[in-house]
Amino acid sequence: MILKLRNLQEVYLMAVKIRLKRMGSKRKPFYRVVVADSRSPRDGRFIESVGYYNPLSDPVDLKLDDDEILAWLQKGAQPSDTVRTLLTSHGIMQKYHEARFTKK
């Protein structure tokens, strides 16, 4: 989407997603949680890495940078369905909801 301002500057708005980037070898995946432009491929270019997720370890290994993720959510980044589930289990979506919808 392109917005035109009064002084004829163009401002490009980017749809930013928080999603998983697959790493690892065949049949042994682990994932990085990344912030990426929604048009870039799954394993392609990303803006920032904010954590990792290893579903194969016995207690699932999940490390997330809470402050960075909250900052990106407040800027308008949309988490994918799987990442939303991970953020909910880690308590980040609750913090985001409280920060956004509490009366000031």
**Tens of pLDDT, residues 33-79:** 999 998 988 888 889 999 999 999 999 999 999 999 999 999 999 99
The domain in which residue 85 lies consists of: 1-102
**Tens of pLDDT, residues 81-104:** 999 999 999 999 999 999 888 866
For residue 25, give the H/E element and its range.
strand 16-25
**Tens of pLDDT, residues 12-22:** 567 899 999 99
Measuring CA to CA, how many Å separate 86 from each of 20, 38, 39, 96? 11, 19, 22, 14
pLDDT value of residue 6: 58
pLDDT value of residue 42: 86
Which of 82, 84, 87, 48 shows the shortest CA–CA distance to 66? 87
* CATH code where residue 5 lies: 3.30.1320.10
Whose structure tokens read 């407040």?
74
- Per the structure, the count of domains in the chain is 1
Residue 26 has pLDDT above 60, yes or no: yes
